[in-house]
Amino acid sequence: MSEPPSNLTVVSKKRFALSLLASIIAFLLTTYLGITAPFGICVEIFGFDESRVVGLILLLTIPFVIGLPCAWYVFRSIKQLDSFLGFFKIAGVRFMGRMLRTIGLWGTAFLGMVCLSDFGPSSWSWKWIAFGTFNVPVLITLIRSYRLSENQWDWWFLTFLILHANVVIALIFSETWTPDVHFVKGLIFGQTLILVSLGICFLYRAVKGQMSIPRFVQYGLGGFAPTIVFFIVREHWVYSSYYV
């Protein structure tokens, strides 16, 4: 078996190094902007103390909703294309269009939450405003991911995790039910099992090239839904003990 020419090997190594560097830069830049920009707006409007929960949710979701999809797509596109110029002409334009559509969807929901909280009726609670506006892009993401997933099992599993988190959060916000310590212990145990099972499935989908941007977002939301619920429960406990 003939060995590949040395010049092709050098080009392949350079392309791999460039794709890795570009993906790291894309991850850091998009994650930084995705966290600091909306958190800064929340701090200016609601204050730092009331924005801690929003900042924590951004910290847990943005790296997986925006950062990892950008990094993975940049890495795969540069590594697979025959020329770097082709990446910026073809894949770059396509990728930017998809990412701008995703960022625009979540940005519109965030701006809607801010506008309703600031200019909406005073009887509307900011918790329910955030709950409703946040679930609009979540629902759109689930629909887009379903159309691309061809009714696969992980879509149903991730959707169940997101639905479970929504039900628990709605019960907490309505003060119908307050979770106890046993529920939190179950969340921690379930989070471990979820990360292990979804991590294996995530790697399989990524290797097979079956990972789209909506699927990335769904994995980020579903994989860390128990963690988001955990911190909301914690803040609810702190709030209840402070005002009781």
Q: Quick one: pLDDT band at residue 95, thresholds 50, 70, 90? A: low
CB 168 within 8 A of CB 229: yes
3-class SS of residue 164: helix
What b/e sequence results for 20-40 when a residue is b if at least 16 CB atoms lie within 10 Å of its CB, and e otherwise?
eebbeebbeebbeebbeebbe
* 183: Cα separation from own chain's centroid: 24
How confident is the model at residue 82, as a pLDDT?
A: 53
Could you tell me the residue ranges of all domains in the chain?
6-243
pLDDT tens digits, residue range 150-204? Answer: 668 888 888 998 998 899 889 888 888 878 878 877 777 777 777 777 777 877 7
